[in-house]
Chain A
Amino acid sequence: MMQNMDVEDQPAQAEPTKMNTLDEPVLSTLWRDISRVGYKLFHVLIPRGYSEKALRDWDLWGPLVFCLALALVLGGDLAVQVFIIVALGSIVITLNSILLGGKVSFFQSVCLVGYCIFPILLAAIICTFVNIPLGSKSWAIFFNIGFAAGGFVWSVWASVGFLSAAVPDHRRLLAIYPVILFYAALSWLVLISYKQTGGRGTIGGSSSSGNSTTPTNGTLSNGL
């Protein structure tokens, strides 16, 4: 019963079996929510014909987790910008779609925008790992550009499918334009995080590379 992902069935199930779901063990509630997030993520990232139903059962946990993860991966200075861009940007995109006559609910649209951040999060993680061995080489930036661009294209492709279906035809481009801006801004943050990680590498990396010519100071800086 709990593995049934069909949204329309769940409220109907809740009525006659109310005591069951009201008394269910906490772990099964937790697992149900987690598997819903995974299910939605899979369907949003690899769009198929029936993914619209997956999004009807919206939740904001996915967007929250991805936003936090992106903020952590990109590092302190950029993390605040990530929060602000994601929060304001998803609200603006949603308002824009609704005002253009789209038939999406507010939370559904915020949910969609948030889930489509995942490719950019992937790109940020890959870039961070790629920059560790390649940090000091000047051509490493092309890897960053490649991954950031790939994440951008994937995010836009995943989100445009849903949003353009909800908005009237002649307004499709108007609805898509802020989405492109939004993911471009996030991909740009991923790209410029290269300067932070490429320049300093890991915390011990910069001090050791800076002191490679003065081995007598190496022990002092490694104590940091």
Chain B
Amino acid sequence: MNSHNIDVDTNPAYGQTESVSISSFKHPVAVVFHCLFKFLAIILWIISVFLQSSIILTIIFIILAACDFWVVKNVSGRLLVGLRWWNEVKDDGTNEWVFESLENMTTIVPLEKYVFWGAQFFVAILWGVFAILSILSISSWVPIVISLILNLANLSGYINSRAWQPIT
């Protein structure tokens, strides 16, 4: 992992080539997983419009939303944009939200940054649209609410982390 960083720092081509190829990503696996669970959830939603509602579908939605939340919070956030956020409970019971950002932001690849924020915003808005469209069908509220809450939680956590960036 350390040698990988050294390669990137001396190779200015990351994210700046005109054509997007696999080599223009510093963390291709993280990018793939960042988008994978979101993509699967959307595909499943489109499929589920034509199927009758079942509890198995709801459970699969919840599992996909949970996997996506974990990946975005623990992996793609720190690898793609160098941000992190969490919650700490102090000894006296009060809790505090902590946000962290990478000191040296030049190691962040612009293309990956766009993919990260683009996917996150896009999916949040899309689930909002699904929520409005399905407001009359109560059986679909559980997956919609859970997906919305988890996506918005990550979105707001990372937006707050971004506000803590040191000004270069």
Using a CB–CB cutoff of 8 Å, the interface residues on chain A facing chain B are 7, 11, 14, 18, 22-23, 25-26, 29-30, 33, 56-58, 61, 64, 68, 71-72, 76, 79-80, 83, 103-108, 166
A76/B55 in contact, CB under 8 A = yes
Q: What is the bound-complex CA distance between A6 and B58, given in angstroms?
A: 36
A68/B1 in contact, CB under 8 A = no
Cβ–Cβ < 8 Å partners of B148 in chain A? none
Q: Is B38 an interface residue (CB 8 A)?
A: no
B66/A105 in contact, CB under 8 A = no
B40 to chain A, nearest CB (A): 17
B59/A71 in contact, CB under 8 A = yes
Given A22-B78, A105-B95, A107-B95; A68-B59 close (CB under 8 Å): yes
B89/A71 in contact, CB under 8 A = no
B98/A108 in contact, CB under 8 A = no
B55 CB contact (under 8 Å) in A56, A58, A80, A106:
A80
> Interface range on chain B: under 10, 10 to 19, 20 to 34, or 35 or more?
20 to 34
Q: What is the bound-complex CA distance between A106 and B74, given in angstroms?
A: 22
Given A64-B62, A105-B89, A108-B89; A79-B55 close (CB under 8 Å): yes
Q: Is B44 an interface residue (CB 8 A)?
A: no
- Other than the given A7-B88, A23-B5, A56-B91, 12 more pairs (CB < 8 A) read A14-B100, A22-B79, A22-B82, A22-B84, A23-B2, A29-B74, A56-B89, A76-B54, A105-B93, A105-B94, A107-B95, A166-B93
Cβ–Cβ < 8 Å partners of A11 in chain B? 88, 98
Query: Nearest residue in B to A56 (C-beta to C-beta)?
Result: B89
A57/B82 in contact, CB under 8 A = no
Query: Nearest residue in A to B4 (C-beta to C-beta)?
Result: A23
For this complex, 15 residue pairs linking A to B, each with C-beta atoms less than 8 Å apart, are: A7-B88, A11-B98, A22-B84, A23-B2, A25-B1, A26-B74, A29-B74, A64-B66, A79-B58, A80-B55, A83-B142, A105-B93, A105-B94, A107-B87, A108-B89
A58/B59 in contact, CB under 8 A = no
Q: What is the bound-complex CA distance between A30 and B70, given in angstroms?
A: 9
Q: Is B92 an interface residue (CB 8 A)?
A: yes
Q: Is B111 an interface residue (CB 8 A)?
A: no
Query: Nearest residue in B to A75 (C-beta to C-beta)?
Result: B55
B55/A68 in contact, CB under 8 A = no
The 8 closest A-B pairs by CB, nearest first: A103-B93, A105-B95, A79-B55, A22-B78, A56-B89, A76-B55, A29-B74, A105-B89
Q: What is the bound-complex CA distance between A51 and B63, given in angstroms?
A: 29
Most buried by A among B82, B95, B142: B95
